[in-house]
Chains A and B, each alone.
Chain A
Amino acid sequence: GENVEQHPSTLSVQEGDSAVIKCTYSDSASNYFPWYKQELGKRPQLIIDIRSNVGEKKDQRIAVTLNKTAKHFSLHITETQPEDSAVYFCAASRVGSQGNLIFGKGTKLSVKP
């Protein structure tokens, strides 16, 4: 069945370092790939997304890259800050489902001051 795998499950970095989270998806027809950030006890919130006609997108310290041939996409956070500490989820659109998403299992990012 359709699947999104996310790695690593936990990631610890020093403040100022970069963090990279990687996801692979199974359905080559998926065309929308969002990333959500969820702080402890809060709701998930979109931080960046990319569509299949674009290879890379950047928003300040956050960037996402997409490799459709390999069916993987990555989140890059540069100059990490303690407030970046959260759980990050990747997702891929489910084909033929009018906007449904398949989520990865999440990466808990800890940024140490």
Chain B
Amino acid sequence: NAGVTQTPKFQVLKTGQSMTLQCAQDMNHNSMYWYRQDPGMGLRLIYYSASEGTTDKGEVPNGYNVSRLNKREFSLRLESAAPSQTSVYFCASSEYYGEQYFGPGTRLTVT
């Protein structure tokens, strides 16, 4: 089992460009999450999906959109990237109130 996978691993964007971060899990989990991690700020929840077909905002949703394509896949889209979105992005999955399994992360730089 691959667990949680993310693509790409690294990305550099110019201000105003758009991109989609992809995430997939093979553990048959219902819940999936997108976090961003900035130095000294811990992990902050951007969006989550409690089950296939549902998505909800987390702590810092502005500037992002998500799609729960099916039970396995949960994508994060930046429509118009800004330098403030430079961060490391982690996808995670879990069952309700259980261990969250994280992907390897995407390091995004917006210039």
The residues of A with any CB-CB pair to B shorter than 8 Å are: 6, 9, 31-32, 34, 42-46, 49, 89, 93, 97-101, 103-106
Contacts and interface: CB of A to CB of B under 8 A. Distances in A.
Interface residues on B, range: 20 to 34
Given A32-B97, A98-B96, A104 B42 contact: yes
A32 B95 CA distance: 13
Contact of A99 (B40, B44, B97): B97
7 nearest A-B residue pairs (beta carbon): A43-B102, A105-B42, A98-B50, A103-B42, A103-B43, A99-B96, A46-B99
B53 interface: no
Nearest to A9: B40
Given A89-B42, A104-B42, A99 B99 contact: no
A105 B40 contact: yes
A44 B90 contact: yes
A97 B100 CA distance: 14
Contacts of B33: 100
Contacts of A49: 99
